[in-house]
C-alpha cells in the first residue's frame, strides 16, 4: 500500500475518476440540457486536477519547479472561474 501512494498511483486513480465524473457530467448536460454546461464543469474540475498533479510531483520526488507550476496553474484557473462567477 505504501508503494501505491509513494509512486503517485493514488493520484492517477483519482484523476481517472475525476475524468470519468467530468465526462459523465458533460454528457448528461449534452443529452438532457440540464446540469452544468461544459465550461462550468471544467472550471470546477481543472483546479483540483492541477492540485492533484502538484501532489503527484511531490509524492514522486519531482522538482519543486513542477510543484510550483501546477500550483500556479490551479490558482490561475480558480481565479478565472471566480472572476466569471462574480460578473
User: In total, how many domains does the chain have?
Assistant: 1
pLDDT in tens, 16-65: 999 999 999 999 999 999 999 999 999 999 999 999 999 999 999 999 99
pLDDT for 86: 95
Q: What is the pTM of this model?
A: 0.91
Task: Give the three cell numbers for residue 30.
Answer: 449534452
Query: Which structural domain range is residue 44 located in?
Result: 2-86
Residue found under cell 492541477 = 50
The predicted pLDDT at position 75 comes to 98
- CA–CA gap between residue 41 and residue 81 (Å, rounded): 11
Amino acid at each position: 500500500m505504501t508503494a501505491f501512494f509513494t509512486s503517485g498511483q493514488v493520484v492517477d486513480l483519482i484523476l481517472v475518476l475525476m475524468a470519468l465524473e467530468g465526462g459523465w457530467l458533460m454528457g448528461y448536460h449534452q443529452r438532457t440540457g440540464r446540469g452544468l454546461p461544459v465550461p462550468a464543469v471544467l472550471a470546477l474540475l481543472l483546479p483540483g486536477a492541477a492540485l492533484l498533479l502538484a501532489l503527484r510531483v511531490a509524492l514522486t520526488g519531482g522538482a519543486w519547479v513542477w510543484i510550483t507550476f501546477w500550483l500556479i496553474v490551479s490558482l490561475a484557473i480558480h481565479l478565472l472561474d471566480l472572476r466569471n462567477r462574480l460578473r
